[in-house]
Amino acid sequence: MGRDFSRSERVASEMQKELALILQREVEDQRLGFITINEVVLSKDLAVAKIYITVLNADEEAKVLNVDTLNELAPVIRHHLAKKMRLRHMSELRFYYDRSIDTGMRVAELLAEDAAKDRD
């Protein structure tokens, strides 16, 4: 039998899809790079949404700038999201940079270096 998904998980999944579309089509800010929504984690009462993002081809300064810009634009993004989703109360949006991709890439580099040393 399949695993039951909680309401917060279902809403988070839908929110992730809608946020991706909103950032692509609705938000026009020159400070933002190519952003990917990796995960949305909602509190059980759906009051707070933690949104984990990555930015393509960005240095550390650009990553911080993108997260700060998104948190600054959070009320506007929340308004667009509220129009698309049928919820009684729209969650507060908090954006964070997802370091798991960077960590994974670093681990892969270290493993490749180790493998190269073993071959020599």
Query: Tens digits of per-residue pLDDT, 5-46?
Result: 788 899 999 999 999 999 999 998 888 889 999 999 999 899
Sheet holding 92-97, edge to edge: 35-42, 48-55, 92-97
End-to-end CA gap in the chain: 51
pLDDT at 49 over 90: yes
Domain extent for 46: 7-119
Higher pLDDT, 114 or 70: 70
**2 pLDDT band (50/70/90 cuts)?**
low
Is 2 inside any structural domain? Answer: no
Is 1 inside any structural domain? Answer: no
The rounded distance, in Å, linking the Cα atoms of 70 and 44 is: 23
Is 57 inside any structural domain? Answer: yes
**Residue 47 neighbours by CB distance under 10 Å:** 11
Over the stretch 51-108, which tens digit does the pLDDT of each residue have? 999 998 888 899 999 999 999 999 999 999 999 998 889 999 999 999 888 788 888 8
Among 20, 51, 42, 25, which Cα is nearest to 89's? 42
Is 37 inside any structural domain? Answer: yes
pTM equals 0.83
| CATH number of the domain to which 66 belongs | 3.30.300.20
**Residue 15 neighbours by CB distance under 10 Å:** 25
Total number of domains in the chain:
1
